[in-house]
Structure 1
Amino acid sequence: MAPKFGTSGLRGLVVELTSELVTSYTHAFIQACETGSAVRVGWDLRPSSPDIAKAVIDAIVAAGRTAIVDGALPTPALALAALNRGQSAIMVTGSHIPADRNGLKFYTTGGEISKDDEAAIIAQLGAALDGQGAQVDATGDVITAYVARYVNGFGADALKGMRIGVYQHSSVARDIMVDVVKALGGEAVPLAWSETFIPVDTEAVDPITRVQLAQWCDEHKLDALISTDGDADRPMVADATGKIVVGDVLGPLTARLLGAERICTPVSSNTMVDEMSEFSAVVRTRIGSPFVIAAMESGGARNVVGYEANGGFLLGFTADGPVGQLAPLMTRDCLLPILAPLYMARKAGCGLAELVAGLPSRFTATDRLTGIETDISRPFLERLSTDAAVRGTFFDDMPAELSVDLTDGLRVTFEGGEIVHLRHSGNAPELRCYVEAENQQRADTLLAMFLEKISARLS
Structure 2
Amino acid sequence: MQVFGSSGTRGVANEELTPAFALRVAKAAGSVREASRFAVGRDTRETGRMLENAVASGLAAVGADVDRLGVVPTPGLQAYAADEGVPAIMVTASHNPPAYNGLKLVGADGVELAVEALERVEEALLSEAFETVAWDETGRDRDVEGTNRRYVERVCGAVDAERVAEADLTVALDPGHGAGALTSPDVYRELGCRVVTVNGQPDGHFPGRDPEPVPANLDDLGRLVRASGADVGIAHDGDADRAVFYDEDGEPIDASASFAALAAAELDAGDTAVSAVNVSQRLVDVCEAAGAELELTPIGSTRIMTRIAQLEAEGAHVPIAGEGNGGVIFPDYRVSRDGAYIGARFLELLAADEGRASDVVAPYDDYANVRVNVEYEGEAEREALLAAAEAYADDAAAADDAGLTTIDGYRLDYGDAWVLARPSGTEPVVRVYAEARAETRARGLAEDVAAALRAALD
The answer to whether the superposition gives a TM-score over 0.5 is yes
Aligned position for 1:365: 370
Counterpart residue identity of residue 223, structure 1: D
Aligned position for 1:200: 211
Question: How well do the aligned residues superpose, as a CA RMSD in angstroms?
Answer: 2.6
- Once the 2 structures are TM-superposed, how far is the Cα of residue 440 of structure 1 from its aligned partner? 4.5
Counterpart residue identity of residue 225, structure 1: G
Task: Describe the shift of the 1:181–1:447 C-alpha distance in structure 2 as closer, same or farther (beyond 3 A).
Answer: farther
CA distance in 2, matches of 1:235, 1:12: 23
Q: Is the 8 A contact 1:305 1:313 kept in 2?
A: yes
Q: Is the 8 A contact 1:5 1:427 kept in 2?
A: no
Q: Is the 8 A contact 2:259 2:326 kept in 1?
A: yes
Any idea what SS the aligned residue of 2:175 has?
strand
Aligned position for 1:233: 241
Aligned position for 2:20: 20
Any idea what SS the aligned residue of 1:4 has?
coil
Aligned position for 1:129: 132
- Once the 2 structures are TM-superposed, how far is the Cα of residue 165 of structure 1 from its aligned partner? 0.9
CA distance in 2, matches of 1:387, 1:451: 10
Any idea what SS the aligned residue of 1:433 has?
strand
Which piece of structure 1 moves more, 362-371 or 239-248? Answer: 362-371
1:337-383: CA deviation from partner (whole Å, max 9, x where unpaired): 22222221232121111111123733323343445555423332233
1:269 maps onto 2:275 in alignment: no
Any idea what SS the aligned residue of 1:173 has?
helix
Aligned position for 1:190: 197
Task: Describe the shift of the 1:229–1:389 C-alpha distance in structure 2 as closer, same or farther (beyond 3 A).
Answer: closer
Q: Is the 8 A contact 1:364 1:440 kept in 2?
A: yes
Any idea what SS the aligned residue of 1:124 has?
helix
- Once the 2 structures are TM-superposed, how far is the Cα of residue 448 of structure 1 from its aligned partner? 5.5
Which piece of structure 1 moves more, 249-258 or 3-12? Answer: 249-258
Q: Is the 8 A contact 1:252 1:273 kept in 2?
A: yes
Q: Looking at secondary structure, tell me which structure has more strand per residue.
A: 1
Select the residue among 235, 242, 254 that pairs with 2:250. Answer: 242
Counterpart residue identity of residue 307, structure 1: G
Counterpart residue identity of residue 169, structure 1: G
CA distance in 2, matches of 1:31, 1:365: 43
Any idea what SS the aligned residue of 2:96 has?
coil
- Once the 2 structures are TM-superposed, how far is the Cα of residue 214 of structure 1 from its aligned partner? 3.1
CA distance in 2, matches of 1:78, 1:4: 22
1:149 maps onto 2:154 in alignment: yes
Aligned position for 2:326: 311
CA distance in 2, matches of 1:383, 1:376: 11
Task: Describe the shift of the 1:162–1:304 C-alpha distance in structure 2 as closer, same or farther (beyond 3 A).
Answer: closer
Aligned position for 1:339: 344
Aligned position for 2:113: 113
Aligned position for 1:396: none
Aligned position for 1:11: 10
Task: Describe the shift of the 1:281–1:236 C-alpha distance in structure 2 as closer, same or farther (beyond 3 A).
Answer: same
Aligned position for 1:158: 164
Counterpart residue identity of residue 179, structure 1: D
- Once the 2 structures are TM-superposed, how far is the Cα of residue 438 of structure 1 from its aligned partner? 1.2
Runs of 5+ unmatched residues, structure 1: 318-327, 394-398
CA distance in 2, matches of 1:119, 1:211: 40
Q: Is the 8 A contact 2:175 2:199 kept in 1?
A: yes
Q: Is the 8 A contact 2:215 2:252 kept in 1?
A: no
Task: Report how many aligned residue pairs link the two structures.
Answer: 437
* Identity of matched residues, %: 23
1:377 maps onto 2:408 in alignment: no
Task: Describe the shift of the 1:296–1:92 C-alpha distance in structure 2 as closer, same or farther (beyond 3 A).
Answer: same
1:9-42: CA deviation from partner (whole Å, max 9, x where unpaired): 111221233333222111111121253x520010
Task: Describe the shift of the 1:392–1:212 C-alpha distance in structure 2 as closer, same or farther (beyond 3 A).
Answer: farther
Q: Looking at secondary structure, tell me which structure has more helix per residue.
A: 2
Q: Is the 8 A contact 1:40 1:68 kept in 2?
A: yes
Task: Describe the shift of the 1:406–1:412 C-alpha distance in structure 2 as closer, same or farther (beyond 3 A).
Answer: same
Task: Describe the shift of the 1:295–1:312 C-alpha distance in structure 2 as closer, same or farther (beyond 3 A).
Answer: same
1:217 maps onto 2:225 in alignment: yes
Which piece of structure 1 moves more, 337-346 or 229-238? Answer: 337-346
Instruction: Report matched runs for 1:376-415 at 5 Å.
Output: 376-386=381-391, 401-414=401-414
CA distance in 2, matches of 1:77, 1:244: 26
CA distance in 2, matches of 1:346, 1:75: 27
Aligned position for 2:420: 421
Counterpart residue identity of residue 191, structure 2: L
Task: Describe the shift of the 1:188–1:149 C-alpha distance in structure 2 as closer, same or farther (beyond 3 A).
Answer: same
Q: Is the 8 A contact 1:247 1:310 kept in 2?
A: yes
Any idea what SS the aligned residue of 1:294 has?
helix
Counterpart residue identity of residue 154, structure 1: D
- Once the 2 structures are TM-superposed, how far is the Cα of residue 452 of structure 1 from its aligned partner? 5.8
Aligned position for 1:173: 180
Aligned position for 2:145: 139
- TM, length-normalised to structure 2: 0.87
Counterpart residue identity of residue 356, structure 2: G
Counterpart residue identity of residue 87, structure 1: V
- Once the 2 structures are TM-superposed, how far is the Cα of residue 456 of structure 1 from its aligned partner? 5.7
Which piece of structure 1 moves more, 449-458 or 286-295? Answer: 449-458
CA distance in 2, matches of 1:68, 1:250: 36
CA distance in 2, matches of 1:239, 1:444: 24
Q: Is the 8 A contact 1:368 1:433 kept in 2?
A: yes
Any idea what SS the aligned residue of 2:45 has?
coil
Q: Is the 8 A contact 1:263 1:279 kept in 2?
A: no
Counterpart residue identity of residue 164, structure 2: A
CA distance in 2, matches of 1:148, 1:112: 22
Q: Is the 8 A contact 1:263 1:282 kept in 2?
A: yes
Counterpart residue identity of residue 136, structure 1: R
Aligned position for 1:286: 298
Counterpart residue identity of residue 267, structure 1: V
CA distance in 2, matches of 1:176, 1:429: 32
- TM, length-normalised to structure 1: 0.87
Any idea what SS the aligned residue of 1:192 has?
coil
Which piece of structure 1 moves more, 252-261 or 282-291? Answer: 252-261
Q: Is the 8 A contact 1:374 1:424 kept in 2?
A: no
1:155-201: CA deviation from partner (whole Å, max 9, x where unpaired): 14515422211113222101312111111111111113454224322
CA distance in 2, matches of 1:83, 1:67: 15
Aligned position for 2:44: 45
